[in-house]
């Protein structure tokens, strides 16, 4: 997720958690789901700072597993020049991984809400649904393959799940850009709005919501690289 990261050498020793890769699944388009040995509790929506080398900076990824599960899972897209994504995508199962304690404030507030996700930015919402939290989800992807966990969300959210794809169409999935789809909707200004995706996507959606009367303080966002 977020590329801002502190170097582990500057962290207190007790803040470092040593874990290991339990499994890795390719989701296509250079995207992966990696399962890590869970060492402590987290709240759905929180992130882990991850590195394979204590000398390298942390890179942050949303935990997408249920908070009740026995493992941590993270969803990511391979960045060709990215040390951490290459480490996670290529290291053997059983390899040691160093992580921060779960952290972050992109968590559910009381009251009704709506989720908006682009690409791998669906990860925190996957954790929330898996934990039993339910809100309507609008999910956008460049291809059908990048609508991660599409069938799972269909099953769990039913009519509250609204996928859209910018380059392809399928039954129940219109061929339309996420932003163009969002512009067709009416917005409930009293709801909380949760945005997760690229910086461009988050800024564009936030500006749209504000232009439609949604108060700034009812918009929560997380940048996902």
Average pLDDT over residues 151-175: 96
Q: What is the pLDDT of residues 170-221, one digit of tens each?
A: 999 999 999 999 999 999 999 999 999 999 999 999 999 999 999 999 999 9
Backbone φ and ψ for 144, nearest 5 degrees, come out as -60, -35
Packing angle between helix 150-157 and helix 123-131, nearest 10 degrees? 40
Q: Class assignment of domain 8-99?
A: mainly beta
What is the pLDDT, as a whole number, of residue 15?
Answer: 84
Tell which CATH classification among 1.10.3720.10, 3.20.20.100, 3.40.50.80, 3.90.1570.10 matches the domain 113-223. 3.40.50.80
For the chain, how many residues are written?
225
Predicted TM-score (pTM) of the model is 0.92
Backbone φ and ψ for 160, nearest 5 degrees, come out as -90, 5
Per-residue pLDDT band at 225 (split at 50, 70, 90): low
CA 106, 220, 79, 174 torsion-angle sign: positive
Per domain, the residue ranges of the chain are 8-99, 113-223
What is the pLDDT, as a whole number, of residue 30?
Answer: 93
Identify each DSSP E strand in the chain by its residue range: 17-28, 31-37, 47-51, 59-62, 71-77, 96-99, 113-118, 137-141, 161-165, 192-197, 219-223
Say how many C-beta atoms besides its own lie within 10 A of residue 218's C-beta: 18
Question: pLDDT averaged over the chain?
Answer: 92
| CB 158 within 8 Å of CB 184 | no
What is the pLDDT, as a whole number, of residue 29?
Answer: 80
Q: What is the pLDDT of residues 112-128, one digit of tens each?
A: 999 999 999 999 999 99
| CB 95 within 8 Å of CB 20 | yes
């Amino acid at each position: 997720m977020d590329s801002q990261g502190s170097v582990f050498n500057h962290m207190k020793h007790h803040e470092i958690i040593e874990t290991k890769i339990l499994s890795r699944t390719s989701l296509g388009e250079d995207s992966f789901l990696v399962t890590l040995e869970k060492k402590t509790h987290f709240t759905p929506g929180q992130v882990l700072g991850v590195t394979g080398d204590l000398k390298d900076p942390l890179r942050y990824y949303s935990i997408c597993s249920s908070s009740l599960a026995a493992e941590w899972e993270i969803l990511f897209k391979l960045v060709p020049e990215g040390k951490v994504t290459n480490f996670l995508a290529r290291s053997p199962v059983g390899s040691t991984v160093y992580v921060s304690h779960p952290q972050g404030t992109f968590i559910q507030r009381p009251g009704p809400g709506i989720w908006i996700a682009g690409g791998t930015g669906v990860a925190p919402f996957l954790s929330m649904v898996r934990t039993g939290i339910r809100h309507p989800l609008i999910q956008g992807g460049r291809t059908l393959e990048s609508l991660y966990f599409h069938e799972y969300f269909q099953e769990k959210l039913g009519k509250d799940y609204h996928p859209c794809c910018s380059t392809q169409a399928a039954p129940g999935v219109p061929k339309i850009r996420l932003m163009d789809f969002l512009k067709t909707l009416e917005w409930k200004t009293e709801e909380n709005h949760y945005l997760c995706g690229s910086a461009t996507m988050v800024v564009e959606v936030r500006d749209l919501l504000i232009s439609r009367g949604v108060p700034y303080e009812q918009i929560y966002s997380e940048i996902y690289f």
